[in-house]
A and B are shown apart, each in its own frame.
Chain A
Amino acid sequence: GAVVSQHPSRVICKSGTSVKIECRSLDFQATTMFWYRQFPKQSLMLMATSNEGSKATYEQGVEKDKFLINHASLTLSTLTVTSAHPEDSSFYICSAGGQGSRTDTQYFGPGTRLTVL
């Protein structure tokens, strides 16, 4: 399957700081990437759809000014958690749409575990 990477894999930061997470599609071009958040023992929750060259589409209840998404190239999307607070501590996962005949398939990055102190 396609390879998606995320960086960093884990980050611990102080309350009030901003954290940038990178998501890269390594062996294919992804015009669309997705950002999810998962709290312990809960389902994945879609935060936003990242579109290359245009603004992201945010799900209801997700603050676009707090979770800044940039999809500047076909292989890179970034999520910046601004002014992070302890309640933002979570597992953030990106995914990228498939390629070729399977554009309906998504492959997930390994995730970034954010802990805000």
Chain B
Amino acid sequence: RKEVEQDPGPFNVPEGATVAFNCTYSNSASQSFFWYRQDCRKEPKLLMSVYSSGNEDGRFTAQLNRASQYISLLIRDSKLSDSATYLCVVNPAGTASKLTFGTGTRLQVTL
């Protein structure tokens, strides 16, 4: 089993749609969780951290379920500019240590 699993997609959605991505992780002791966004031929950029209480940043909402070892990202009112690959990332130790990446979920928002 992969340490971090994501549906690779692609998810093709029209502008304005709501889309949700899910991710599961295998290490129950993992401490910190993140969603990064990576555009084609660019570096990953931090989108948001994920907390058990859930956190929202504009059109983006992230949620962590420790009991199910499950992380989600919800994007509301999708924009063309949201088209990218979304990486689910786990920091097992919760310190300045190496990250574990999912393979990424590709989102394509269309007119």
Contact = CB atoms under 8 A, between A and B. Distances in A.
Interface of A: 1, 30-32, 34, 43-44, 46, 49, 91, 93, 95, 97-98, 102-111, 113
Contacts of B42: 110-111
Nearest to B36: A108
A109 B42 CA distance: 9
Contacts of A95: 99
Given A43-B103, A105-B32, A105-B34, A34 B98 contact: yes
23 contacts: A31-B96, A32-B97, A34-B99, A43-B102, A43-B103, A46-B98, A46-B99, A49-B97, A95-B99, A97-B96, A98-B96, A104-B32, A104-B91, A104-B93, A104-B95, A105-B34, A106-B96, A106-B99, A107-B46, A108-B44, A108-B45, A110-B42, A111-B43
Contacts of A102: 49
Contacts of B93: 104
* Most-contacted residue by chain A among B43, B44, B103 (CB, 10 A): B43
Interface of B: 31-32, 34, 41-46, 49, 87, 91, 93-99, 101-104
B71 to A, nearest CB: 15
Contacts of B101: 43-44
A43 B104 contact: yes
Contacts of A109: 43
6 cross-chain pairs, A with B, having the tightest CB-CB distances, nearest first: A97-B96, A104-B32, A108-B43, A32-B96, A111-B43, A103-B96
